[in-house]
Amino acid sequence: MLNRRNFLSSAVTSSLAIGAGLAWRGNLWAQLESLPAQLPDRSLFDQNEDAYWREMRKQFLIPADEIYLNNGTVGSSPAPVLRAVFQGYETGEKMNQADPEDYPIWGYAAWNEFRDPLAGFVGCNRDEIALLRNATEANNYIANGIDMKPGDEVLMSDQEHPGGEHPWNLKAKRYGIVIKKFNLPKPLINPAQVLEVVQAYITSRTRVLFFSHITTVTGVVLPAKELCSLARSKGIISAVDGAHVPGMMRLNVREIGCDMYSSSPHKWLQAPKGSGFLYVRDEMIDRLWSTIATEGWDEPQLRAERFQRIGSSNVPALWGLRASIQLANDIGMDRIEHRQRALCDYILTAMVKRRAISWTSPDPKLRCAIATVNVPPIVRMDLENWLWKEKKIRIRGGDPNKLRLSTPYYLSKDDIDRFLDAFDEYKKSKA
């Protein structure tokens, strides 16, 4: 085990000796040292939920006076995750493992010690999971790996992220497949609206239905199970971009019934950046080509492991991924989801009261922890910059007037009130 106190003191000493360049290292360890070593007791949740979440907030390096409403882009890895990453480095970098063959350690491994907890968390078998770097990479595996002829169609929504859409654009340009896009109403009022429009777009050439489970544009939670069932009934492959889902809400890929599912747990699960995954339903694995080929690419018995054979890799990120799953399980995914939904409802209601135009679904089943509102004539980038420079509040938006507000569990209602006060102040100054 890493002895952080020793490390800290030696790091401080050496940083004094070597110069200011190394000082920050000691500082990061010192910061981690200063965070509570234990998570708040679960019983605190029953006594005082807000106090429990306030304690949990202390696990994050985000400064206490900063309000981070952009978890939808990237999360912030909390102390247990960072500690695990460092332990991964400490364990690996000594190069003194019992087995002198380094490859199974840094690549070409089943990594079941990481796939098992992830498979349990998302509801599938380890053999259906490939550990990749993020949803973009996983989406590329999907688009590159499915056999399609010129003229074959992929159907997707008009709210796909570039990391979901462009792999198909590349395939269209290179191989002549056809991309068809269906429009999602803003806001989506009920599941029937999307099911009807998808149904209407399906043709005899449709081979793949690709959509975000939660879209980047509006944060709408699409009825993934129903959409996948529709695709299956027509013999169409269903591929779901779930970048936002693990850690935002409970996920069970089997219940959804999709053929493939990609994700970026660095967002809502607060896993390290560079730890993503691709799920491929067992019956589909043999139909998917690998994108990166090295030893193992053509060995079907490896199942989805063959998609994670990418050469040497950043294994400590996987240590962090495992710790982030452990953390979510320790807190309880139901509690996390409940908290995130409540905060989202709170900020949405407050913004609608301020006459913001909501693109967030009025149906609670079709929204979770991302609220998207438009606030014309306020220019979102001006507001974004002002909030950060003047108030230490980070948001994200879309041009010209859209604000995308993410509500992870570690925020409090006070944080949201501070954002709302700042928003009011800015609005008044522009009146």
Q: Which residues pair with 396 in a beta bridge?
A: 404
Binding residues for ligand PLP restricted to 6-65, rule: CB under 6 A: none
Tell me how many degrees the CA angle 210-368-57 measures, rounded to the nearest 5.
Answer: 120
Q: Let me know: does 286 contact 306? Beta carbons within 8 Å.
A: no
Binding residues for ligand PLP restricted to 59-88, rule: CB under 6 A: 73
Among 59, 76, 212, 314, binds ligand PLP (CB under 6 A): 212
Among 32, 135, 156, 188, binds ligand PLP (CB under 6 A): 135
Query: What is the three-class DSSP state of 340?
Result: helix
Asked whether position 134 contacts ligand PLP by CB under 6 A, the answer is: yes
Stretch that binds ligand PLP, among 236-244, 313-321, 340-348, 420-428 (CB under 6 A): 236-244
Q: Break the chain down into helix, strand, coil percent, rounded to 5.
A: 50, 15, 35
Among 136, 238, 340, 360, binds ligand PLP (CB under 6 A): 136
The CB-of-139 to ligand PLP minimum distance in angstroms stands at: 7
Among 40, 75, 88, 163, binds ligand PLP (CB under 6 A): 163
Count of residues of this chain found to bind ligand PLP when the rule CB under 6 A is applied: 13
The CB-of-392 to ligand PLP minimum distance in angstroms stands at: 23
Query: What is the three-class DSSP state of 127?
Result: helix
Q: Let me know: does 250 contact 273? Beta carbons within 8 Å.
A: no
Query: What type of residue is 225?
Result: K
Binding residues for ligand PLP restricted to 237-266, rule: CB under 6 A: 241, 243-244, 264
Q: Which two tokens stand for residue 310?
A: 């990418």
Phi, psi angles (nearest 5°) of residue 122: -105, 0
- Choose between 134 and 291: whose C-beta lies nearer to ligand PLP: 134
Among 80, 164, 247, 316, binds ligand PLP (CB under 6 A): 164
> How far apart are the C-alpha atoms of 268 and 343, rounded to whole Å?
14
Q: Which residues pair with 68 in a beta bridge?
A: 394
> How far apart are the C-alpha atoms of 162 and 183, rounded to whole Å?
16
The CB-of-17 to ligand PLP minimum distance in angstroms stands at: 39
The CB-of-134 to ligand PLP minimum distance in angstroms stands at: 3
> How far apart are the C-alpha atoms of 385 and 369, rounded to whole Å?
23
| Residues in contact with ligand PLP by the rule CB under 6 A | 73, 134-136, 161, 163-164, 212, 216, 241, 243-244, 264
